[in-house]
Structure 1
Amino acid sequence: MRLKARLAAPLILAALPAFAQAQDATGPKSPCGGDFGAWVEGVKAEAAAMGHASDTVNAFFSGVRPDQAVLQADRAQGVFQRDFVDFSRRLISENRIANGRANAGKYGATFDRIEAEYGVPRGVLLAFWAFETDYGAVQGDFNTVNALATLAHDCRRPELFRPQLLAAVELYAQGGINPASTTGAWAGEIGQVQMLPRDIIENGMDGDGDGRVDLKGSARDALLSGGKMLSHLGWRANEPWLQEITVPESMDWSQTGLDTEKTVSEWQALGVAGRNGNLGPAGLPASVLLPMGKDGPAFLAYPNFRVYFEWNQSLVYVTTAAYFANRLNGAPVYDAGNAASGLSGEQMVRLQEKLQARGHDAGGADGILGEMTRQAVQAEQQRLGLPADAWPTPALLEAL
């Protein structure tokens, strides 16, 4: 869970769980690279120093090997270069909506328990369940230990994956995984809502009462565990997360974006209104989110929306997941508007390079329109006297 980019059989395979990404922002790099066998011996020594018996450690690592297919999947993130309308239309289908509503009924008692204990609405979990594994149908066939070891050995993000590999040793010691046979996503996630080993240790729940946590075979276990994790990540009960809105043409576009918050009543005073139904409580803080600029879809993002980034850090993914939760709860299709053409992946890289050359931190030149790139775009739009709606266009690229 939270390591996504998974668009295989309609899913998305791996954008990195946000909770985990937070770990790689600070601190020294974990040991990585070099001879794989020698590197494994170092991890084994660290696991033993943590208190694991040598027999346990040796058995866990006995068959470990690097998997080149994992590295290939890790480098293939082009799906996140799509804009919100394209991305959401690819992930959300009538069949997926129908299956979601059927599962809401089938597991109604479990969702009732999750809502009572953790305050997480069923639509929210259903959306993640759908996008992660198509309601359990496509859970991934990568050997979990090999995947974690490969990514921990690779020097791109070892500070994320080495702790997860060590957590997998702990999970093995508890009887939670089998190093030889446990499979899942290429990034080491396991089960129907795709949870990393540390998540499973901290949030794994027995939802069907059989005395064990089975996130692969038991939807009830997976859903209850996912609800507990969202709660621990900061989900606020009985509050909205994302709502479609209408925005007046007179809006100061520089006030839009997730880095600007106002109360609902303040947004209402500026002419923001719910497209379908009333906005949230007047004193609730919120941000106006325009994923494709002032002429595209418009949403009001509430505090719970930020919890989505603890699951996945891709803006287009979390916006789609949050919107899909609304659809599963009965909301209509959003108004796609008439947004100006965006940039290709190659053009986005060029834009990010230009933004960074001007002193902005665009989060790297990866061709993906993330929040840091959007903030830099907005600043340059203001400087150039353009509508500062954070949507990069070919005209902006040319102007820079």
Structure 2
Amino acid sequence: MKRRTFLATATAALATPARGSDPVVAGTESVDAAFQAWLDDFRKTAVRSGLPADLVDRELSGLTPDPRVRGSDRNQPEFSRPFSHYVRRAASEDQAAIGRRRLASLDAAALSRIESERGVPQEILAAIWGMESGYGAAMGDQDVIRSMATLAAEGRRRVFAEEQLLAALRILASREVSRAQLVGSWAGAMGQTQFIPSNFLRLAVDGDGDGRRDVWGSPIDALASSANLLSQAGWRRREPWAIEVTAPAGFDYSVCEVLTCPLSQWGDLGVSRLGGGGWPAGNGEASLIAPTGAGGPLFLLLPNHFVIRRYNNAVTYAMAVGLLGDRIAGRPGLVRPWPEETPLSLSDRTGAQTALKSQGYDVGEVDGVMGLKSRQALRAWQKSRGLVADGYLSPDMIARLRSGG
């Protein structure tokens, strides 16, 4: 998307709603009163933080909650997209081909300079670019000030949202960006590689040398900023993010996501590189993951995988970035194919968590999200019953949990 077209569209879209002139909807009066009470209190907080009172008053004047943000924040999809469905789509050859074309359209010298200075490969940066905004095609058009205010007033993520709102106001105070330009996703992520306001202030850089940090209109600035974020988070030069591996028959998969040790120790446990060959150079430790169960691809996750998760902590996201980056770079695909998975409903997932919790396993919050605690609980339950303890929630596991084993 051309920058002039994007900014013109964003400006037109935000000219009215940014100041809160949405039609009054029946039944919203009490909600809006709560929003106003929060806003009045936040004004004082913003001024006490050192922001100019006139800027705070100007930018918050007439603000109302954004119903689109409320809807997005509260939305929990009924069906969870299976891991393999998400990753295959996100890291498809079509997406990789677009990534290669978009990289080829940029200043090669600038890209080489970014990689040399920060140590992050171009293909990883391109994969993040693709994952975050479709290579700049879908950056979001919502007013960041209004979005963060809505999230803060809702209360579920108040601390985070107020921090980002203060950061967004500081960006405006710096005059680097105008209010019309300060647009992004419903959650406040901005630009071609979706920086939250606090990360923009701390980590955005001028990659193209024009004196501005423009993560919206300059792909080079956006990629350089992402490279700076990953570099600051500990990216290790010339090391891969993961290795596809195989495990021997009878392997104890309960060590997945728990045991972290050197590659040589994984070798002692019988884990080997799928397709043959030795371990890559580097002295980092690794952890094993079986994202679609013991029958699907297995990976030893290296330090750079966890650096990618500093961008977005979801395992699916980091795996998709790594696999898409490999495709963009022209590396061979996976040796073991992804299995065919069945989508699980929200009630399936919460039911499994409830069953585990009722038997004394710590799943964390019963929310339908099979996070690390839930996966560890499932592995412990599977191991206690002599099952393959891979932590994979399949329809068969749900049926076993419901029947008590």
Fold similarity call, TM over 0.5: yes
Q: Hey, what does 2:258 align to over in structure 1?
A: 259
Q: Which range is displaced more, 237-246 or 219-228? A: 237-246
What amino acid does structure 2 have at the position aligned with 1:391?
Y
TM superposition shift of 1:182: 2.6
Displacement, 1:312?
1.5
Quote the Cα distance in structure 2 between the aligned partners of 1:369 and 1:322: 21
Give the AA of the match of 1:383. S
- For 2:131, give the aligned amino acid: F
Partner of 1:84: 83
Q: Summarize deviations over 1:39-87 as a string: whole Å, max 9, x none.
A: 1121111111111111111122124221011121123353992222111
Show the counterpart of 1:290.
Answer: 290
Which residues of 2 match residues 241-252 of structure 1 at below 5 A? 241-252=241-252
Contact 2:79 2:343 (8 Å CA) reproduced: no
Cα pair 1:315 1:370 within 8 Å, conserved:
no
Matching residue of 1:205: 205
Residue 48 of structure 1 aligns to which amino acid in structure 2? V
Distance in 2 (alpha carbons) for counterparts of 1:134 and 1:79:
25
Larger Cα Rg: Structure 1 or Structure 2?
Answer: 2
Separation in 1, partners of 2:78, 2:92:
17
Match of 2:7 in 1: none
Q: Which residue of 2 aligns with 1:15?
A: none
Query: Displacement of 1:265 after TM fit?
Result: 1.2
> Match of 2:362?
361
Aligned residue identity for 1:271: G
| Identical counterparts, % of pairs | 36
Residues 152 and 340 (structure 1 numbering): CA distance in 2 closer, same or farther, change over 3 Å?
closer
Give distance in 1, aligned partners of 2:160 and 2:79: 20
Q: What is the RMSD computed on CA atoms of the aligned residues?
A: 2.2
Alpha-carbon distance in 2 for matches of 1:86, 1:41: 45
1:73·1:186 contact (CA, 8 Å) conserved in 2?
yes
Counterpart of 1:372?
Answer: 373
Q: Is the 8 A contact 2:92 2:324 kept in 1?
A: no
Does the CA-based 8 Å contact 2:82-2:341 persist in structure 1? no
Aligned positions of 1:216-235 closer than 5 A = 216-235=216-235
Question: Can you give the 5+ residue segments of structure 2 that lack an aligned partner in the other structure?
Answer: 1-30
Q: What is the DSSP-based 3-state SS (H/G/I as helix, E as strand, rest coil) of the residue aligned with 1:89?
A: helix
How big is the shift at 1:240? 1.7
Q: CA deviation at 1:279?
A: 2.7
Counterparts of 1:82 and 1:51, CA distance in 2: 44
Q: Output the CA distance in 2 between the equivalents of 1:315 and 1:79.
A: 20
Question: What is the aligned partner in structure 1 of residue 126 from structure 2?
Answer: 126
1:152, distance to aligned residue in structure 2 (A): 1.0
Taking the aligned partners of 1:238 and 1:129, their CA distance within structure 2 comes to 20
How far the C-alpha of 1:340 sits from its partner, in A, is: 7.1
Corresponding residue for residue 47 of structure 1? 46
Q: Residue 17 of structure 1 corresponds to which residue in structure 2? A: none
Cα pair 1:264 1:281 within 8 Å, conserved: no
Do the aligned partners of residues 79 and 145 (structure 1) sit closer, same or farther apart at CA in structure 2, a change above 3 Å counting?
farther
Partners of 2:233 and 2:58 in 1: how far apart? Answer: 33
The match for 2:167 is 167
- The whole-number CA distance in structure 1 between the counterparts of 2:36 and 2:295 is 54
* 1:274 alignment counterpart: 273
What is the match of residue 327 of structure 2? 327
SS of equivalent to 2:309? helix
Counterparts in 2 of 1:203 and 1:340: CA distance versus 1, 3 Å: closer
SS at match of 1:78: coil
Letter of the aligned partner of 1:149 in structure 2?
Answer: A
| Matched residue type, 2:99 | G
Which deviates the most, 191-200 or 355-364? 355-364
Question: Aligned partners of 1:138, 1:110: CA distance in 2, in Å?
Answer: 23
Distance 1:137 1:282, change over 3 A: closer
- Would the alpha carbon gap of residues 235 and 80 (structure 1) be closer, same or farther in structure 2, given more than 3 Å must change? farther
Which deviates further from its counterpart, 207-216 or 238-247? 238-247
Which segments of 5 or more consecutive residues in structure 1 lack a partner in the other structure? 1-31
Measure how far apart 1:249 and its partner are. Answer: 2.3
Aligned residues: 368
Relative distance call for 1:260 and 1:45 in structure 2 (3 A) is same
Distance 1:158 1:360, change over 3 A: farther
Q: Name the structure 1 match of 2:395.
A: 394
Instruction: Give the distance between the partners of 2:210 and 2:339, measured in 1 at CA.
Output: 52
